[in-house]
Structure 1
């Protein structure tokens, strides 16, 4: 078994959630802005890709070195043990970013990285030309403050691609962020969970997958599945473990509502695609001001409109006031969680949050306002 340096990247504000997900798999972690690092073997590539709910992607870090010039970049890349990772027929596309570095042309840097890898492979394989018709190894170059990090993308498509959401609403919330928001709450599967502005249902579907211990990557493939140095039994072993842990019997109590019948059609479509139709999840057409519940305890999680366009602001602020009136009879025994970029949300909502957490929804800086009620008994 190899000792690998792995990093799970995520939205800013979700580092602690991703770290807990990895720790639940048995790995020791350390966190940085938007990244969670851990060391493990090849099986960890399989298990982490299958199980990470809140991470965007899983990277294998190959090396780091100073690169203030093209020559330093070339030599740093060339000295890495590429033949240990890439077969003679490997396909190895190079992507990259540059921030606050002397080398600012990303296409030029990508070309240098590609050339350096080819030179390294030539020395081992005694070949002058590489067909690149074999396993795909996506390579990423990151130049930050003249330090270059070279990594392999083990995931391929982003980890938010679960396989159930093939149709999108106008402003979808990524599955990874939705899963992180759920895990930052007091909700437990035995309690009612509601979203009165559910849109296409992402928060509630991610909550259900988490509650049922359904590995989010079970219905998709990953870049590293074709890598020859990953033991052949590793992926089947990781998938068998995930299938065994999936709770196929528990019924949940989850309610989504929205005023828009079209997005509710999407929500029901995604519910069927996720194979959760018989698991106690219901979607209703209902405006937010009509939300009511007779249940004493419950959890409300929602991602209301932000009002980023001036033309939308008046309507959004009216909606926040309505939401506050809905919350008033629930606030003693329910827990509420609201994600928005609007800085005036608590004033308009009419209730002071117990906690605020900075989270990025894509490129939008948001606050996750938290109103925790009594904790569920364990």
Structure 2
């Protein structure tokens, strides 16, 4: 059986490296990394990994030149071994270069076959206790179909702790990718002088504490049938556990009401600053929900100072849309401050144009490029 870790094109090597660190070898493909693993291993990876946006299990693959052929692939999957008969199932279909072009018809057909395959007895103990919708993806390309199950049930960047966001926020898993590109492992100081709502620093604090990236949410794989009773009742790293009988049922995969996790203090300084006081309030609220201790302070870029002799700066720099005519001045001032005060620090930052990166430092090296919120960006690195 194969899993597929989905990520923005340009960041496949980062996901491959994280898989390797967890003892899994994979093969890079455009937009992800494919690897061999059983369902239990894929569920464990979904709970532990920080960089992918989705983790899929490929359960069937083959020719699908007709509705009948696709139906044969769907029938090959032992759906009862995956989903509880009472679980809500969503089917998502994409088709390109295939005679099967009508997605609504394909969706209805696949959903009907899955529903039929799951008929049968079920345990009454699970009535009203399932929390997650199970998502099935059908991808058809040139008359070849791949049927996959989404281990998360929802996009994995939705960690459960960020309900406050500043302007142009970076997704949580992309923040984890930036930390990986900076080779920051939680053993030295971390700063973000354009911290916004604190996403990069909170991801860093959870990494430094060796805590799960998920706070206040579970994953669909916690209710997979083929992992045994422990998958249905015992919390994994994501902390998912069926509620007591009679408890109100929330909408499948909806966000858990935010609560503050127990506070974890980092052994190294983690410091964020920003020009906007309101944004810092949002960052502090997000950090409380994540249960991490971070120093946030209001400061102009000219006023920042290192919090340790050696450390790493990782930042999602403001783009032109966020600063208007001041954008060039901010980048130039940032570069000057780095050269004057942060000579022993590694710097990794995200921006849209080479000309802006070179305003920080002409030695800046482009690590990779990808899209953030639909905008083409690149990650740059240098040592002041």
Q: Is TM (by shorter chain) over 0.5? A: yes
Which residue of structure 1 aligns with residue 305 of structure 2? 292
Which residue of structure 1 aligns with residue 381 of structure 2? 370
- Partners in 2 of 1:273 and 1:91 — Cα distance? 29
Q: Deviation per CA, 1:40-74: give whole Å up to 9, x if none.
A: 23332332122111111221111112334434333
Please, what TM-score do these two structures have when normalized by structure 2? Answer: 0.82
Once superposed, what is the RMSD of the aligned Cα atoms?
A: 3.0
Which residue of structure 2 aligns with residue 253 of structure 1? 269
**Correspondence 1:7-26 to 2 at 5 A:** 7-26=4-23
Which residue of structure 2 aligns with residue 46 of structure 1? 43
- Partners in 2 of 1:64 and 1:87 — Cα distance? 23
Structure 1 219/294 Cα, relative in aligned 2: closer, same or farther at 3 Å? closer
* Cα contact 1:218–1:239 (8 A) shared by 2: no
- Partners in 2 of 1:66 and 1:308 — Cα distance? 46
- Name the stretch that deviates more: 21-30 or 209-218: 21-30
Q: Does residue 145 of the first structure (1) align with residue 148 of the second (2)?
A: no
* Cα contact 1:46–1:238 (8 A) shared by 2: no
Q: Deviation per CA, 1:125-150: give whole Å up to 9, x if none.
A: 59xxxxx9896432111123332111
* Cα contact 1:140–1:153 (8 A) shared by 2: yes
Q: Does residue 266 of the first structure (1) align with residue 282 of the second (2)?
A: yes
Structure 1 190/71 Cα, relative in aligned 2: closer, same or farther at 3 Å? closer
Which residue of structure 1 aligns with residue 237 of structure 2? 239
- Partners in 2 of 1:37 and 1:247 — Cα distance? 36
* Cα contact 1:6–1:58 (8 A) shared by 2: yes
Count of residues in correspondence between the two structures: 354
Q: Please state how far the C-alpha of 1:221 moved relative to its aligned partner.
A: 0.9
Q: Deviation per CA, 1:192-216: give whole Å up to 9, x if none.
A: 2111111011101111111111111
Unaligned runs of 5+ in 2: 122-126, 240-261
**Correspondence 1:59-208 to 2 at 5 A:** 59-118=56-115, 136-208=133-205
Q: Please state how far the C-alpha of 1:259 moved relative to its aligned partner.
A: 0.5
- Partners in 2 of 1:113 and 1:160 — Cα distance? 28
Query: Which residue of 298, 307, 316 corresponds with 2:320?
Result: 307
Q: Secondary structure at the match of 2:328?
A: helix
Q: Secondary structure at the match of 2:237?
A: helix
Q: Please state how far the C-alpha of 1:330 moved relative to its aligned partner.
A: 4.2
Unaligned runs of 5+ in 1: 127-131, 374-378
Q: Does residue 344 of the first structure (1) align with residue 355 of the second (2)?
A: yes
Q: Secondary structure at the match of 1:329?
A: helix
Q: Please state how far the C-alpha of 1:96 moved relative to its aligned partner.
A: 1.8
Structure 1 214/118 Cα, relative in aligned 2: closer, same or farther at 3 Å? closer
- Partners in 2 of 1:265 and 1:160 — Cα distance? 21
Structure 1 80/233 Cα, relative in aligned 2: closer, same or farther at 3 Å? closer
- Partners in 2 of 1:67 and 1:292 — Cα distance? 60
Query: Which residue of 275, 285, 291 corresponds with 1:275?
Result: 291
- Name the stretch that deviates more: 218-227 or 298-307: 218-227
Structure 1 253/88 Cα, relative in aligned 2: closer, same or farther at 3 Å? closer
Q: Please state how far the C-alpha of 1:324 moved relative to its aligned partner.
A: 1.9
Q: Secondary structure at the match of 1:233?
A: helix
Q: Secondary structure at the match of 1:152?
A: strand
Q: Deviation per CA, 1:89-147: give whole Å up to 9, x if none.
A: 4432211222344433322221232234356557xx59xxxxx9896432111123332
- Name the stretch that deviates more: 78-87 or 148-157: 78-87
* Cα contact 1:6–1:59 (8 A) shared by 2: yes
- Name the stretch that deviates more: 156-165 or 172-181: 156-165
